[in-house]
Amino acid sequence: MTKTETSPGTAEPLAFAFSHCESLVREGDRDRYFATLFAPAAFRPHLFALAAFSLTIARVRDAVTNPIAGEIRLQWWRDALQGEARGDVKANPVAAALDDAIVKRKLGRQPFVDLIDARVFDLYDDPMPRVNDLEGYCGETASSLIRLGGLVLCDGAEPGGAAAAGHAGVAFGVVGLLRALPWHARNGQVYLPADILKDHGVTREDIVTGRGGPGLLGATADLRALARRHLKAFEDARTTIAPAALPAFLPTALVEPSLAMMERPGYDPLNTIIALPRWRRLWRLWRGSRRG
């Protein structure tokens, strides 16, 4: 019996749960979907479970009509992770697949609760206060997912590279937020730190109303520099990562080409769509997997 196999009575529901998670990630998070395909096949169901959970939590704001309803939905997930939710939690396919990953790969539950807590910020329209807050947000979301992926790939054993995961997640997370800036602005969300906006004379209203301007170009340039610093720190710490855990870090291979697209002439943070062609995305991930 392999690590993802179960007894006959639970095999069919879990097979559906894993398939559901894979489909969810394929449709909603192509970067992590393609990156996961480069991981050994035996580990992919649990890696997709982690990514599906992250995507589900990230989408809570879009699924509710007000922040309080979002808080209630996030609390359900906290309760589910801590064994306090009412009803059959495993009727939710993402929860079922995630629980199997946690148990089979010997993962702690607190990192998932911390990810949920970080995502409370998404429910409200307040700007990110400071650069340190942005780094912490990315650490609890993107970095945590990389670290947990490494644990899955090492079957619960120490994967090393804790600092590398921290830096990789911040670099990937910051670039993801810059790419999503046009959509976030239209939804009234501002992830750009208020201290950077103040330095460049930009207000929240400039962003959510689409005014932008030179100040916003300067602010996003500062965030690209922040992403590059963390990408460099990740590369410097790369040798501390257990070889088996390296596929969890593959999404960082997409950071540099995305930054390069943002630095082309004519880039408009509020209107330019940053999306690597599929062939280029796959080539970058393939090349990153060969490095490992």
- Residues 70-103: tens digit of each pLDDT: 999 999 999 999 887 666 788 999 999 999 999 9
Contact 21, 45 (CB under 8 A): yes
Q: What is the pLDDT of residue 157?
A: 93
**CATH code at position 50:** 1.10.600.10
Q: Do the domain assignments include residue 5?
A: no
Residue 50 pLDDT = 98
- Count of domains observed in the chain: 2
Q: Torsions phi, psi of 241, nearest 5? A: -90, 135
Residue 159 lies in a domain: yes
Q: What is the mean pLDDT of the chain?
A: 93
Per-residue confidence band for 2, with pLDDT thresholds at 50, 70 and 90: very low
Q: Is 204 exposed, middle or buried (0-12, 13-18, 19+ CB in 10 A)?
A: middle
**pLDDT of residue 1 exceeding 60:** no
Q: Write the pLDDT tens digit of every residue in 212-252.
A: 878 999 999 999 999 999 999 999 999 999 999 999 999 99
In the chain, the amino acid numbered 186 is: R
**What pLDDT sits at residue 255?**
98
- Judge whether 4 lies within some domain: no
- 162 class by beta-carbon count within 10 Å (0-12 exposed, 13-18 middle, 19+ buried): middle
Domain span including residue 88: 11-124
Do residues 25 and 117 share a domain?
yes
Q: What is the pLDDT of residue 158?
A: 94
Q: Which residues pair with 187 in a beta bridge?
A: none
Q: Tell me, yes or no, whether 91 and 158 share the same domain.
A: no
Both 285 and 158 in one domain: the answer is: yes
